[in-house]
Structure 1
Amino acid sequence: MPCFRCGARQTDPVRGASPWRRGVLADHQVLVCPACQAAGGWSDALDHCSCCGSAALVCRLGDVECRECGHTREAVRDEPGRAPEPAPAAPSPGADLSQEVAAALDRVLGRPLT
């Protein structure tokens, strides 16, 4: 799942906590990359808890739950199974998806990197 703001894709995780943050937008789970977190203002675009106002929401099994106060409500979706489209990502140098996939396959299959 790409970042909902910039469209950046997650890379292979390292051990420990992920620097990516979760949130809920239009009752769909979304991710926020570290760069967008550093830019600020990202939580303003997300849904907030109706009880405590926190943006620390998670969506699971058709419910939206606040991680701050524990308030749970049913997720309301216009089109089931369809998440909002992420913002188009600005192309970055060397960000060709086919190259990323080939590199990941090489790592997984133990092939030498070229």
Structure 2
Amino acid sequence: MPCFRCGARQTDPVRGASPWRRAVRADHQVLVCPDCQAAHDWADDLDRCASCGSAALVCRLGEVECRDCGHTRDAVRDDQPLVPSAPSPADGLSEEVAAALSRVLRRGP
């Protein structure tokens, strides 16, 4: 899943906690890349908890839950795209898969 703001794709994870953050926008789970997190206004586009106002939300199994206060509500979804101008998740995917396969297959025993 790409970053909802810039469309950047995650790369192979390193050990430890991921620098990417999960969030909810229009009742859809989204990811925010480290570069977009550096922007001071990145959280302005996210959904907020109706109970405490926190943006620390997760969406799972048709429910949105606040990580800060535990408030839950049903997710209301529509078919509108979250980021109309963002690149499609499939853009460049075949090249990324080919590069990953090349890296893996060159690591012979």
- 1:64–1:74 CA contact under 8 A, matched in 2: yes
- Structure 1 unaligned residues grouped into runs of 5+: 90-95
Q: CA deviation at 1:97?
A: 4.6
Question: What aligned pairs does 1:65-76 form with structure 2 within 5 A after superposition?
Answer: 65-76=65-76
One-letter code aligned to 1:61:
L
Instruction: Give the share of equivalent positions with the same residue, in percent.
Output: 75
Counterpart in 1 of 2:103? 107
* 1:85 CA displacement: 3.5
Kept in 2, the 8 Å contact 1:21–1:33? The answer is: yes
Map of 1:27 onto structure 2: 27
Q: Give CA deviations for 1:78-114 in whole Å, capped at 9, x if unaligned.
A: 24xx76236425xxxxxx5544222211233x326xx
Q: How far is 1:41 from its partner?
A: 0.8
Distance in 2, matches of 1:63 and 1:25, equals: 13
Q: Which runs of 5+ in 2 are unaligned?
A: none
Q: Does 1:40 align with 2:40?
A: yes
Find out whether 1:77 has 2:77 as its counterpart.
yes
Q: Paired residues, what number? A: 104
Q: Please say if residues 57 and 64 of structure 2, whose CA atoms lie closer than 8 Å, have aligned partners that are also in contact.
A: yes
How far apart are the structure 2 equivalents of 1:9 and 1:35?
Answer: 12
Q: CA deviation at 1:22?
A: 0.5
| CA contact 2:57–2:67 (8 Å) conserved in 1 | yes
Question: Runs of 4 or more off by more than 3 Å in structure 1?
Answer: 96-99
Once the two structures are TM-superposed, the CA of residue 76 in structure 1 deviates from its matched residue by 0.7
8 Å Cα contact 1:20/1:33 also seen in 2: yes
RMSD between aligned alpha carbons? 2.1
